[in-house]
Amino acid sequence: MFYPVILAGGSGSRLWPQSRHLNPKQFLPLVDPEVSMLQSTVGRLTGYTFGAPIVICNEEHRFLAAEQLRHLKGIHAHILLEPEGRNTAPAVALAALHALEFEDDPTLLVLPADHFIGDVSAFHSSLADAERLADNGKLVTFGIVPTYAETGYGYLKSGEPSTNSSYLLDQFVEKPDRQHAEEFVSKGGYYWNSGMFMFKARRYLAELDVHAPAIASACRASMASARKDLDFVRVGVDAFVGCKSDSIDYAVMEHTQDAVVLPLKAGWSDIGSWSALWDIGEKDSANNVVVGDVVTEASKNSYISANHRLVATLGVDNLIIVETKDAVLVAQKDCVQDVKRIVAQLEEKGRQEHLEHREVYRPWGVYDSIDQGPRYQVKRITVNPGAKLSVQKHHHRAEHWIVVSGTAQVTNGEDTYLVTENQSTYIPIGQIHALENPGVIPLELIEVQSGSYLGEDDIVRFEDKYGRVKG
């Protein structure tokens, strides 16, 4: 048995405008419309015996991760919160130390949360081989058998055979240019670097002690001062933020004498760009992948995604077109690795479209900013059954709530009362208030804000069931 370690950090900027800093690709249903990438990562282990997953994510994504994991039946995951991202070597060290709390020397399967694997049975077969190697003290990395000369992936060069199914790891190769990528594929013995690993927890920590002792020490100090908070384990901030940022590849795997490559041919993709989604998507007769409400005419070889309205194309070829509520991306398919440059421009200009969607998820539900102008903003708010917004007040805005469906329990100063469909209530500036859904169906309401400042940071919290300090 092994414990999955799910790496759910990262921003996925090359998949903008769907992937954004506060709701990145691992939490989006990019491949399967019914489940997120994170849920798929755990779900593809079904049928294999494994322990409670350990999910590593950023502080700001904690409620997204918890809510999505909650929907996986029979899964009780541990969620470790990194105060700041420090790459994969420290993240896995935290998971290894945590796993040692409930087993003497568990086997860890390290999986990024944003990958796709088409042939799950082949993946499971490789897991059985990897477990045997890990039991013999090996640190296993899964090398993807290349199907073409890809320049967007790093490569693994294999050495002498280690077993019938694995090879000693010779070296890591950075993302190559086209010529070298073609040479790697034609020569053989080179594999795409998947970023997936399996090893014993104590074996990994021992190698980290030898090759990156500062990282090992910082992670031990962080876990020694960790504390439980609701569904989460918060690692010690002071020790962790001083930890060096480094990958498993460079901190451990390229130095250890016990690294092995296990070839994997299972329809793998890291979903690192929009062209990757075109590669794995179901194509129509014109070689287009279409998602959502799309009409095409004389269009071919394109990926077209409509999330909230009709998208029509005429006479286009080799394009990526992605529509969201507040942004549209149009790009040549061979330029999609540079989408992050658009994200950088948005950030430099102080815009919000790189940061979050118009629709924003909160631990209690979701809100959609449907209209705004000088001194007013209109939101559609959905509050989950049994959920409650924090007890709070605002210095600069008043709020008018109109219930569309469900029942709201409203605290308005000293008064607490119910507001039902087609009823409304008014919250003056400076009034302490709260909103709760006491029912069994979602509460939907329209909120009209008015005032001199309408930013989300104009919230003074007095009580919050989700432990939030601000935001």
- The string of pLDDT tens digits covering residues 412-453 is 999 999 999 999 999 999 999 999 999 999 999 999 999 999
pLDDT beyond 80 at 162: yes
Instruction: Round to whole Å and give the CA distance between 309 and 10.
Output: 28
Write the pLDDT tens digit of every residue in 164-200.
Answer: 899 999 999 999 999 999 999 999 999 999 999 999 9
DSSP sequence for 286-341: TS-EEEEEEEEES-BS-EEEEEEEEEEEES-BSEEEEE-SS-EEEEEGGGGGGHHH
Is residue 134 predicted with pLDDT exceeding 50?
A: yes
pLDDT of residue 399: 98
Q: What are phi and psi of 119, to 5 degrees?
A: -105, 90
User: What is the C-alpha to C-alpha distance for residues 142 and 117, in angstroms, rounded to an integer?
Assistant: 13
* pLDDT mean across residues, the chain: 95
pLDDT digits 0-9 by tens, 19-47 = 999 999 999 999 999 999 999 999 999 99
Closest CA to 108 of 51, 46, 163: 51
Residues of the chain with CATH 2.60.120.10: 359-463
Q: Which residue has the tokens 């049975």?
A: 121
The mean pLDDT of 299-317, rounded to a whole number, is 97
Nearest Cα to Cα of residue 42 among 81, 79, 90, 97: 79
Domain 359-463: CATH architecture, name and number where available: Sandwich (2.60)
Q: What whole-number distance in Å separates Cα of residue 88 and Cα of residue 81? A: 14
Q: For the sheet with 376-383, list strands across it.
A: 359-362, 365-373, 376-383, 443-451, 397-405, 424-427
17 preceded by a cis bond (ω within 30 of 0): yes
CATH architecture of 2-269: Alpha-Beta Complex (3.90)
User: Is 80 exceeded by the pLDDT of residue 208?
Assistant: yes
Q: Indicate whether this model's pTM tops 0.85.
A: yes
Q: Is the pLDDT of residue 256 over 60?
A: yes
HEC secondary structure over 141-155: EEEECCCCCCCCCCE
Please report the pLDDT score of residue 119 as a whole number: 97
- pLDDT for res 469: 66
Distance CA 384, CA 366 (A): 9
- CATH 3.90.550.10 location in the chain: 2-269
- What are the two backbone dihedrals, phi and then psi, of residue 190, each rounded to the nearest 5 degrees? -115, 140
The H-or-E segment that residue 116 falls in is strand 116-117
What does the block give as tokens for 12? 């996925």
pLDDT at residue 471 in the model: 41
Radius of gyration of the chain from its Cα atoms, rounded to whole angstroms: 24
| Residue 470, pLDDT above cutoff 70 | no
Q: Are 221 and 239 in contact (CB under 8 A)?
A: yes
